[in-house]
Structure formats: C-alpha cells, structure tokens
Amino acid sequence: MHALRARILGILLLSLVAPAFSWAAPTFNLEPGTQISTATPQQVLSAGGGVFRMYFIRDNFQVLSATSSDKVNWTQESGVRLSTSPAPAIDASSITACSVFTSTAGWRMVYSAISSSGVYSVLSATSADGLTWFKEAGFRLHLNGGQTYLASPRVLRVSNNLLRMYYVEDSSNTNTPATYFIRSASSTNEGQNWTIEGTILSTPTAEVSVSTLTDGRYRMFYSQLQSGTTISQQILSAISNNGLNFQFESGRVLSTSTSLGRIGFPVVDRSTETFRWRLYYAFTATGSSIPATLSALTLNPAGTGFSPSTTLNTTSTTSFTFTGEVFGATPTVRMVQGATSITATGVTTQSDLAVTGNFNTVDAPTGNWDVVLTNPDGNSVTLSGALFVDIPSGTLDLLDNLIRPRLAQSTTITVTIYEAGRVTLKLYTFNGELVKTILDEDEPKGTFNASWNGTTGSGNTVASGVYLLHANGPKLSETKKIVVIK
C-alpha cells in the first residue's frame, strides 16, 4: 500500500492555472488516497435520497457498484450488476466500459463488449432500481460485422427526447490505435436505436467522458493514447457549444510518466458543493495490471474574462462581469495595483461561471489593475491587468469666441483636466504661425480660466481674421476657433 501511495503521489498533476482569457479546463488537484481499489470508474449518478452511486468495472468481466453520500468515501454494494459469467451473463468474454442513464423505462446501461471470437459491439441492459440488470436483445452498435474496434460508450442526455452517445471507434477499420478516434451517435427512442453522427475528435483516444457546463456548453475529457501504443498517460479536454464541434483546450488536465504508470477512464462529476468538479480516473502502476480508482478536485477558481476592460477614475459605480469557472456562492472580488486594493460591492454569483459586482474607482490611481476573485475557502484566481483605470479627457471651452479688441473685448478660456500636469494654451494663425503662448504652466487637476484680448506676444493687436487656439495637457489635445473683428 505504501508503494502504491508513493506512486499515486508521484503523479504529475500539471497545475496549469489558465492564463487570463485562455480557453482551458480548470486545474484539477490530486486528492489523497484511493477511492476504490481494483476498479476502473465508469459512471457516477444520483441514487436518490442524497446517495450517489458509482458503477465500476473489475477484472474486465464484472460491472459492480458502490455508494457514497459525499462522493469521496465509497462503500461497495453487494452483488454484481453485470457479468460475463455467471448470471446475469451478457454473451461476451469481456466488458471494456459502460454508461448508465435514466430513461422512461427506468435505468438503461450501454456497455462495450468483446466476444470470445473477438467481435466488438455496444450492448445494453435495463434495470428498475439500478441494481438488478437484464440484458436486452440485439446490438446498440455493431460495425463491420463486429470487426471494427468499439469502446468507451458515454451517454449524455441532450434534451427530453434526444440522447447522444460518445464512443471510441477505429475509424480506419484496421484496429490501429493511431485511428482510435472519438465519434458520436444519437438516439430519439431512449437508447434503443442509435444513428451514427460522425467523428468528433480525430485524436488517438483510449476513453472519453463528456459533461455539461452551467451555460449549456459541453466539455469532453479524454485519455490520449501514446503514439503507436494502447497506453494513455495523459488526460486532455476539449470544449463545444453544441456537443458536436469541439475545440481543443490548452494544457493537460492530468498526466503521469512511463516510470510511474498509466491513467485513463476519466469520469467527471460535480462535487457535493456543486460548483466544483471531481475527476475520477483509473491509475495502473508500472509493472501492475490492477487499476485503482483515484480522484482529483478543482480547488482554485479559473478566470477566462473580465468586462469592462477600462473605466475612469471619476466613476463611482463600475459594473463588471467576471467569467470563468469554479465560482462559489459568496466570493470576494478585488482590484489590486501594487499595495493598493479596492474591494467590490454588490458581488453576486450568477452561476459557477459568472460573477457580477461594482467597483468605486473615484480617485483610483491610473494604469493597469489586476482583478482577484477569492472563494470563501481562500482559493483564488487572478486576472493580470484585467482592468485599466484611465482619466477622462480634458475639455476646452470658450466664452465669446468672437471679439472686437478695439472695444476691449476678450475671450474667456475654460480648461478642465482630471490629472495634474503641464498645460499649454497657444494661439496660431490659420496658416499655422504662432501668435502667442497664453499659458505654459504646471496645473493641478480641476478647472481653471485664462483669457485672450486679441494681442500678440509683444502686445500688438492682431489683424481681423480667424485664429486657432490649441490646448494641450493631461489627456487633452483640442483646438477651437476665435474670430477677431477690428
């Protein structure tokens, strides 16, 4: 046991906290201990009354089950759910994977099996209580007379009348691991008949699992085969809006090395906290043929976006949306710049994927701010430079922009700046010649006035015509016309 524990703890969980605005699965953290020994996990679902049931395969010929109230501590249930021998026999020499779902008829299980003559097929069984199962007649999938490799069926309910099954198939019909791709089929009669939809991901795969996010997107987890082998040592993920077109996500969800062993059979389910995900998987140590079911949990929230990207330091209420995953019910959100921190108010968890709130950025230092979301348990995520605080644009206003110098008239110039700095007011002819520098001084933020009485820098009265007043200062660059009539 100590040797196995050492191997387990040696698994390389690549804790890749997704960089801001990337598309990646949240980071899974290895949980201590073994969930179920001598078992490959297949499905976790509710058994009612706050009890959860895990179906698992042992020795490639038995489907068994265990129950838990916390999805961490599992107790094996007595009896056998399905078996190649003895009863309830399924007319196959091995069971490679299974998926269980509820239907209008009760419970249905689809499972991939291999006969004693090497025929591959997906079969099914039904149950009234999830414990006692009866094999159904016929094949659910049976390709090329059973000569085409089939494995890892995973059924997901898309709607009340539509089921989708993801599975691994040898797309070349040559039983070559390099072409063990992920495909899908759909059913509109509760899994009795399936229509093949096509290839979902063209990547060498051992097993596949699909979950549905709160916003309706689909995330696929799959154990990728090493080149030219039937061994998987990493679990990857892909995302989709419709369950058919998947985009690879960056990074690895879980991986191990050849010296340690192999991993596979990913099964992803919500934790009892509901906003976290737990990944069950089979780990087989190098030199052993006996797998154990282990697990990993998403602890840190993940950030994928923040809006708006800019605000002003005169705004008392900047409403924001923080998007990502693994958001608890009452997180805190802060914007941070160096030692300065501003805590958001009105923070509301719209779902485990989105949090909204407000920042008061009045007099906040300008520049880029990091935004930090922290769950109540202290786990947090930082989006670096997610919010830029700027100053409003300065303004230039003129009162009496038509003046008669001989009548002692002048133009009143009003300038507003929102940050202290150098301000210049220069007057030019329409041809661009400098007439007079009215102001060239450091000014505090705020509003101040200046004037021009129609004279040059040497005190002479200008000729009648149109003149251009240009103001330059902190976020201020503006030109206005002044008309002089003698």
CATH number for 302-390 (one of 2.60.40.60, 3.40.50.620, 2.60.40.10, 3.40.50.300): it is: 2.60.40.10
Six-digit token pair at 465? 């015509």
Burial 33-59 (b: 16+ CB within 10 A, else e): ebbbeebbbbbbbebeeeebbbbbbbe
Cis omega (within 30 of 0) for bond into 444: no
- Cβ pair 350, 319 in contact under 8 A: no
Q: Side chain identity at 275, as an amino acid letter?
A: F
Chain region(s) in the chain for CATH 2.60.40.10? 302-390
CATH T-level topology, domain 395-484 = Immunoglobulin-like (2.60.40)
pLDDT band with cut points at 50, 70 and 90 for residue 84 = confident
Homologous superfamily in CATH for domain 2-298? Glycosyl hydrolase domain; family 43 (2.115.10.20)
For CATH 2.115.10.20, list the domain ranges present in the chain: 2-298
Sign (positive/negative) of CA torsion 462, 465, 469, 470? Answer: negative
Query: What does the pLDDT look like over 165-188, one tens digit per residue?
Result: 999 999 888 889 999 999 999 999
Summarised one tens digit per residue, pLDDT across range 101-112 is 998 778 999 999
Model's pTM, two decimal places? Answer: 0.85
Phi, psi dihedral angles at 332 (to 5 degrees) = -105, 145
Which residue ranges does the chain devote to CATH 2.60.40.4070?
395-484
Q: What are 292-332's pLDDT values in tens digits?
A: 999 999 999 999 999 999 999 999 999 999 999 999 999 99
Q: What is the pLDDT of residues 206-241, one digit of tens each?
A: 999 999 999 999 999 999 999 888 899 999 999 999
